[in-house]
């Protein structure tokens, strides 16, 4: 009985005390509203993207050279497939990019090969160059007198994250398009 009376007393006297602690006087509510209107607008994620330089992105990508190839993976501890690697690199800088080479190829931000720049995504067919179906992606690493080099995760002879020249016949025949993200 004493416990019931004690419990009822706590509820009866405790509820108003809790309510009074959560009520903010009107003058403070107005002051908070005025101050919040003076705060600068929130920065959108795109602001971070604009500040991402291709060099920073590629230095990060280069830090993963040698990580092994692993089908259907975007985890550096387990290994990368090609699109998993590209997705992981861009995601690290706040970009939301496709997870598959087909989705990259379907992107509307394609540019001509002669307009490519470092940091762009390069899309290739799968291993059968006669089938023009997207099947491989990489990130353009350098463009110079020797041509275009790209960093990618290869399931081929080099097995893993590596830098390859587009001039190698195998990739040149498979080239589909360039996608600009930065």
Residues 90, 66: Cα–Cα separation, whole Å: 18
Element (H, E) at 37: helix 26-38
> In this structure, are 81 and 128 located in the same domain?
yes
> In this structure, are 28 and 81 located in the same domain?
no
Q: pTM above 0.85?
A: no
The whole-angstrom distance between residue 169's C-alpha and the CA centroid of its chain comes to 30
> In this structure, are 61 and 25 located in the same domain?
no
> Which residue range is the domain that position 124 belongs to?
45-179
What's the confidence (pLDDT) of residue 28? Answer: 65
> In this structure, are 66 and 28 located in the same domain?
no
Residues 12, 180: Cα–Cα separation, whole Å: 65
CB distance 113 to 178 below 8 Å:
yes
> In this structure, are 16 and 78 located in the same domain?
no
- Give the chain's domain count: 2
CB distance 151 to 163 below 8 Å:
yes
> In this structure, are 86 and 150 located in the same domain?
yes
> In this structure, are 101 and 71 located in the same domain?
yes
State the CATH number of the domain containing residue 51. Answer: 3.90.1720.10
User: In the block, which residue shows the tokens 């006669």?
Assistant: 130
> In this structure, are 105 and 133 located in the same domain?
yes
> In this structure, are 31 and 89 located in the same domain?
no
> In this structure, are 76 and 161 located in the same domain?
yes
> In this structure, are 66 and 8 located in the same domain?
no
> In this structure, are 118 and 64 located in the same domain?
yes
pLDDT tens, N- to C-terminus, the chain (182 residues): 555 565 555 565 555 554 545 566 777 667 667 766 666 655 434 444 557 899 999 999 999 999 999 999 999 999 999 999 999 999 999 999 999 999 999 987 899 999 999 999 999 999 888 899 999 999 999 999 989 999 999 998 778 999 999 998 789 999 999 999 98
Residues 130, 39: Cα–Cα separation, whole Å: 58
């Amino acid at each position: 009985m004493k416990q019931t009376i004690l419990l009822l007393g706590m509820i009866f006297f405790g509820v108003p005390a809790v309510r009074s602690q959560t009520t903010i006087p009107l003058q403070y509510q107005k002051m908070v509203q005025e101050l919040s209107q003076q705060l600068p607008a929130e920065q959108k994620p795109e602001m971070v993207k604009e500040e991402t330089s291709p060099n920073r992105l590629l230095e990060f990508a280069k830090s993963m050279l040698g990580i092994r190839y692993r089908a259907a993976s975007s985890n550096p501890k387990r290994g990368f497939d090609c699109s998993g690697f590209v997705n992981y690199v861009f995601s690290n800088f706040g970009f939301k990019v496709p997870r598959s080479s087909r989705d990259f190829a379907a992107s509307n931000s394609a540019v001509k090969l002669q307009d490519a720049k470092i940091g762009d995504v390069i899309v290739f067919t799968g291993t059968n160059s006669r089938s023009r179906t997207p099947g491989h992606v990489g990130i353009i690493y350098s463009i110079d007198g020797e041509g275009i080099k790209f960093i990618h995760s290869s399931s081929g002879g080099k097995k893993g994250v590596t830098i390859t020249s587009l001039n190698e016949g195998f990739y040149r025949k498979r080239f589909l398009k360039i996608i600009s993200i930065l």
